[in-house]
Structure 1
Amino acid sequence: MLKTRIITATVLLAVLLPILFLLPAFYLGVFFLIALTAAAWEWSRMIAPQAKWAAVLYALFCLVVILFLLGMQAVAWQFSLLMIAVLFWFFIAPFILAKGMDLPFQRFKAFYSIVGLIILPATWFALIFLRELGLVFLLTSIALVWVADIGAYFVGKAFGKHKLAIHISPGKSVEGAVGGLLLCYLYAFLCVVYLPLGDSLFGAWAIRFGWVPMFLMVTVLAAFSIFGDLFESQLKRLAGVKDSSFLLPGHGGVLDRIDALLPTMPIAALLAGLI
Structure 2
Amino acid sequence: MLGTRIITAIVLLAILLPALFAGSPWPFAAVTLVLIAAGGWEWGRLNGLAQPAALAMGAALAGLCLFTLLGPGLAAVPAGLWWVLGGAWVLGSAHALRLGPAGWPRLPRAGRLVLGFVLLWGAWAAIATARGIGLNFILSVFCLVWVADVFAYFGGRTMGRRKLAPAISPGKSWEGVWTGMAAVLLLGLAWTFGLEPRLHTDTPSLYARLLTGLGLPLGLLALVFLSAMSVIGDLFESLIKRAVGAKDSSQLLPGHGGVLDRVDALLPVFPLALALNSLVA
Matched, 1:229 2:230: no
How far apart, CA to CA, are the structure 2 residues paired with 1:206 and 1:3? Answer: 41
Cα offset, 1:104, TM superposition:
5.0
Mapped contact 1:81–1:118 kept (Cα < 8 A): no
Q: Which digits, 9 at most, give the CA deviation of each residue in 1:143-199, with x for residues without a partner?
A: 100000001000100010110000000000010001111111111111111214952
How far apart, CA to CA, are the structure 2 residues paired with 1:149 and 1:272? Answer: 22
Mapped contact 1:40–1:59 kept (Cα < 8 A): yes
Cα offset, 1:14, TM superposition:
1.4
Mapped contact 1:93–1:231 kept (Cα < 8 A): yes
Aligned to 1:270: 275
How far apart, CA to CA, are the structure 1 residues paired with 2:221 and 2:144? Answer: 14
Q: Specify the code of the residue in structure 1 equivalent to 2:56.
A: L
Mapped contact 1:137–1:200 kept (Cα < 8 A): yes
How far apart, CA to CA, are the structure 1 residues paired with 2:129 and 2:170? Answer: 35
Aligned to 2:183: 183
Structure 1 37/242 Cα, relative in aligned 2: closer, same or farther at 3 Å? same
Mapped contact 1:156–1:175 kept (Cα < 8 A): yes
Cα offset, 1:253, TM superposition:
0.3
Q: Which runs of 4+ in 1 moved over 6 A?
A: none
For residues 29-108 of structure 1, the aligned pairs below 5 Å read 29-48=29-48, 51-70=50-69, 71-73=71-73, 79=79, 81-103=81-103, 105-108=105-108
Q: Which moved more, 1:162-171 or 1:119-128?
A: 119-128
**Aligned-pair Cα RMSD in Å:** 1.7
How far apart, CA to CA, are the structure 2 residues paired with 1:82 and 1:42? Answer: 24
Structure 1 77/191 Cα, relative in aligned 2: closer, same or farther at 3 Å? closer
Cα offset, 1:87, TM superposition:
1.4
User: Which residues of structure 1 form unaligned runs of 5+?
Assistant: none
Count of matched residue pairs: 274
What TM-score, normalized to structure 2?
Answer: 0.92
SS in structure 1 of the partner of residue 172 of structure 2: strand
Q: Which digits, 9 at most, give the CA deviation of each residue in 1:1-20, with x for residues without a partner?
A: 11111110011111222222
Cα offset, 1:55, TM superposition:
0.6
What TM-score, normalized to structure 1?
Answer: 0.94
How far apart, CA to CA, are the structure 1 residues paired with 2:214 and 2:164? Answer: 32
Q: Which digits, 9 at most, give the CA deviation of each residue in 1:206-228, with x for residues without a partner?
A: 22221111101101100000000
Cα offset, 1:204, TM superposition:
1.4
Q: Which moved more, 1:124-133 or 1:59-68?
A: 59-68
SS in structure 2 of the partner of residue 24 of structure 1: coil
Q: Which digits, 9 at most, give the CA deviation of each residue in 1:236-273, with x for residues without a partner?
A: 01121100000000000000000001100000011112
Q: Percent sequence identity over matched residues?
A: 40
How far apart, CA to CA, are the structure 2 residues paired with 1:104 and 1:12? Answer: 32
Structure 1 61/120 Cα, relative in aligned 2: closer, same or farther at 3 Å? same
How far apart, CA to CA, are the structure 2 residues paired with 1:256 and 1:74? Answer: 26
How far apart, CA to CA, are the structure 1 residues paired with 2:196 and 2:73? Answer: 32
Cα offset, 1:200, TM superposition:
0.4
Aligned to 1:238: 243
Q: Specify the code of the residue in structure 2 equivalent to 1:66.
A: C
Aligned to 1:19: 19
User: Which residues of structure 2 form unaligned runs of 5+?
Assistant: none
Cα offset, 1:22, TM superposition:
4.0
Cα offset, 1:79, TM superposition:
4.2
How far apart, CA to CA, are the structure 1 residues paired with 2:57 and 2:63? Answer: 10
Aligned to 2:258: 253
